[in-house]
Amino acid sequence: MSKGIKIATIGGGSSYTPELIEGFIKRQNELPVREIWLVDVPAGKEKLEIVGNLAKRMVEKAGADIEIHLTMDREEALKGADFVTTQLRVGQLDARVKDERIPNSHGVVGQETNGPGGMFKGFRTIPVILDICKDMERLCPKAWLINFANPAGMVTEAVLRYSNIKKVVGLCNGPIGIEKNIADILGVDHSEIYVEFVGLNHMVFAKTVYKDGEDVTAEVVTKMTEGESGSTLKNINATGWDATFLRTLNMIPIDYLRYYWQTRTQLEDQQAAYEKHGTRAEVVKRVEAELFELYKDVDLAEKPKQLEQRGGAYYSEAACNLINSIYNDKRDIQIVNTRNNGAILDIDPDSAIETNCVITRQGPIPLASGHLPVAINGIIQQIKTVERLTAEAAVTGDYDKALLALTVNPLVPSDTDARVLLDELLEAHKEHLPLFFKNK
């Protein structure tokens, strides 16, 4: 990597790209990124050009020695890359509308990473990411794959199990958001606390919070029950947890747990929100339209504030800190998705987990946390099962395996609902599920 770093960003036309560019610009002094290749598919060409031109203006304004390349040729972008970041959305936001709306129309939670919608996003995304892995083996075998594409947990699981790429890290902004929220609750800077996370992507818990070397988890939890804080994520409606429940649990669940432990309220919220302004994807579509209008402005040369309306806040902080620490062998601690390798005793060593890791040039080393607390062991095991079965169905395109995966998902009420949802979602997403339709 001595010549300077080459980054290939797949799904480069995403509205989040200015976040990433800002992150690299900020770290110029220690992270010598020289080339960023933003790649997209023909359907995303217009967005790629708009956001890519903004990226060029940002780099120019900052006087950074970074070349921005825009391309639809993935091979060219991958050739010799040091880091490949993936932030793609197969089928774009229209597919997300279906993932949210179809389950909702059957009285089931409709969400882009949880429940049947999340699994379908997995079915669409996993084969594409595995294809990228194959290209990486040929074109940049030494590169790190930093995956942001959702469902990031399932995708990391699939890469670990079904590809030859070993240098993979799954990334989410969720844990950083929780940490910042805890710091706010305690009225201290983020750097003054240490939070131990255990679990899976979008199924993670802040298990213990330390301040000045002391365990202050109970204080944080009590303050949360006293209404000190709502949701940490823009995309989830937080209604507060039952105070006794949260105090007894004595951990801070990521807001995605609301779909499991507040299912009825979340479903009612989704149904009401749909009547008012459409599904979350439809809201995001409007935010995106507004963002891309702003991005077109030739006088704009920085990340606009409006991007904060999206759920992916701190995305660049997570991605750029990780790349920086791998490149500079910083050996600091970050929360990422990586191979468990025995860190959580109740989870298969070969599975992906989301936890505190020491970030080295060799990759993340997960810190041991022993057995999972009994109250959360069950749900984590169940979701890991769903992730593994979804990954298997995604790579095989096997209907029966998909049915099994849907039926054991705790958000699907019954086997008959599973079949109805599977059939309707398969039909709706046909064009992006070639493996499921290969023999039909």
Q: How far apart are CA 32 and CA 23, in angstroms?
A: 12
- Closest contact distance (angstroms) between CB of 281 and ligand G6P is 8
Q: How far apart are CA 195 and CA 175, in angstroms?
A: 9
Report the residue number, 203 or 380, with the smaller CB distance to ligand G6P: 203
Report the residue number, 250 or 309, with the smaller CB distance to ligand G6P: 309
Q: Please state the residue numbers annotated as binding site.
A: 96, 150, 172, 202
Report the residue number, 234 or 330, with the smaller CB distance to ligand G6P: 234
Tell me the H-state helices in 278-355: 280-296, 315-327
Report the residue number, 35 or 40, with the smaller CB distance to ligand G6P: 40
* Count of CA atoms in the C-beta half-sphere (13 A) of 107: 4
Backbone angles phi, psi at 365, to 5 degrees: -115, 110
Q: Please state the residue numbers annotated as binding site for Mn(2+).
A: 172, 202
399 is a catalytic site residue: no
Residues at the interface with ligand G6P (CB under 6 A): 150, 172-174, 233-235, 280, 284, 310-312
Q: How far apart are CA 80 and CA 86, in angstroms?
A: 16
Close Cβ partners of 31 (under 8 Å, ≥ 6 residues apart): 5, 24, 320, 323, 324, 327, 328
Reference 125, options 106, 153, 161; nearest CA is 153
- Closest contact distance (angstroms) between CB of 364 and ligand G6P is 18
Q: Please state the residue numbers annotated as binding site for substrate.
A: 96, 150
Close Cβ partners of 70 (under 8 Å, ≥ 6 residues apart): 12, 38, 48, 49, 52
- Closest contact distance (angstroms) between CB of 277 and ligand G6P is 13
Report the residue number, 26 or 234, with the smaller CB distance to ligand G6P: 234
Instruction: Write out the two tokens for 135.
Output: 């290209």
Burial of residue 2 (CB within 10 Å: 0-12, 13-18, 19+) is exposed
Whether 241 contacts 252, CB under 8 Å = no
Q: Vertex 56, ends 52 and 61: CA angle to 5°? A: 145
Q: How far apart are CA 383 and CA 2, in angstroms?
A: 41
Burial of residue 396 (CB within 10 Å: 0-12, 13-18, 19+) is middle
Task: Give me the catalytic one of 256, 260, 295, 314.
Answer: 256
- Closest contact distance (angstroms) between CB of 373 and ligand G6P is 23
- Closest contact distance (angstroms) between CB of 19 and ligand G6P is 12
- Closest contact distance (angstroms) between CB of 69 and ligand G6P is 25
209: which strand partners?
Answer: 195
Tell me the H-state helices in 361-414: 374-396, 399-408
Q: How far apart are CA 277 and CA 283, in angstroms?
A: 7
- Closest contact distance (angstroms) between CB of 92 and ligand G6P is 12
Report the residue number, 241 or 256, with the smaller CB distance to ligand G6P: 256
Q: Vertex 337, ends 309 and 80: CA angle to 5°? A: 90
The helix-helix angle for 152-162 and 374-396 (nearest 10°) equals 60
Report the residue number, 158 or 233, with the smaller CB distance to ligand G6P: 233
Instruction: Write out the two tokens for 292.
Output: 């891309």
- Closest contact distance (angstroms) between CB of 136 and ligand G6P is 22
Report the residue number, 68 or 177, with the smaller CB distance to ligand G6P: 177
Instruction: Write out the two tokens for 264.
Output: 């009825």
Give the H/E segment covering residue 252.
strand 252-253
Query: Known catalytic residues?
Result: 256
